[in-house]
Amino acid sequence: MQYISSYASPLGEILLSADTACLTGLWFPGQKYFARTLGPDPVEREIPVFTQTKHWLDLYFSGRRPDFTPPMHLSGTDFQRDVWQLLAAIPYGEIRTYGQVAQALAEMRGLPHMSAQAVGGAVGRNPISILIPCHRVVGAKGALTGYAGGIDRKRWLLTLEQAQNHG
């Protein structure tokens, strides 16, 4: 069974999805790959993981760093999940370039190099925006590119975090 709920953020409505115990999606309506992991006929219901996620989002949007992470279940390829794991490790207030993420992935996999473009494709398909901070990944020289939720939202989130490149 899949469940959905809405959250009113400073950046607009957010759709949350979950299985019985874990968050499976967090999207802004209209974003690229919107609700792609959501099956047919989800049930709108408040369940504990939504309560936790909304509390996390309340803290985050108030400018505080949440000290917990709601349980998540990520559906994707091994490559995508490896990229998302690296995104989740980017600290609050810091940014990385696609090239830096690609280099870290290559090291993790014991390879001499990895395509930043392939990493960008996986970053863009991140099903749990904000909690898995794909907004913290920027183009070469800090260019704000490639956020499925829109560049204005990416800029807003990075400003909230007072993000700087420490990679």
* Mean pLDDT for back-to-back runs of 10 residues, the chain (167 residues): 96 95 93 83 96 98 94 95 97 94 96 94 94 93 79 92 70
22 as an active site residue: the answer is no
Same domain membership, residue 161 and residue 82: yes
Same domain membership, residue 97 and residue 31: no
Total domains in the fold of the chain: 2
Would you state the pLDDT for residue 94? 94
Q: Rounded to whole angstroms, how far apart are CA atoms 23 and 8?
A: 17
Q: Which of 26, 72, 101, 134 is catalytic?
A: 134
Would you state the pLDDT for residue 147? 79
**CATH code, domain carrying 101:** 1.10.10.10
Helix (H, G, I), strand (E, B) or coil at 4: strand
Helix (H, G, I), strand (E, B) or coil at 134: helix
The two three-digit tokens of residue 34, written as one number: 């919107």
The 10 Å Cβ neighbour count of residue 117 is 9
Domain boundaries, position 82: 78-165
Would you state the pLDDT for residue 165? 61
Tell me which of 20, 35, 61 is where a domain ends.
Answer: 61
Pairing type for strands 43-44 and 3-9 reads parallel
| Contact predicate 34/17, CB 8 Å | no
The two three-digit tokens of residue 75, written as one number: 């559906």
Same domain membership, residue 108 and residue 52: no
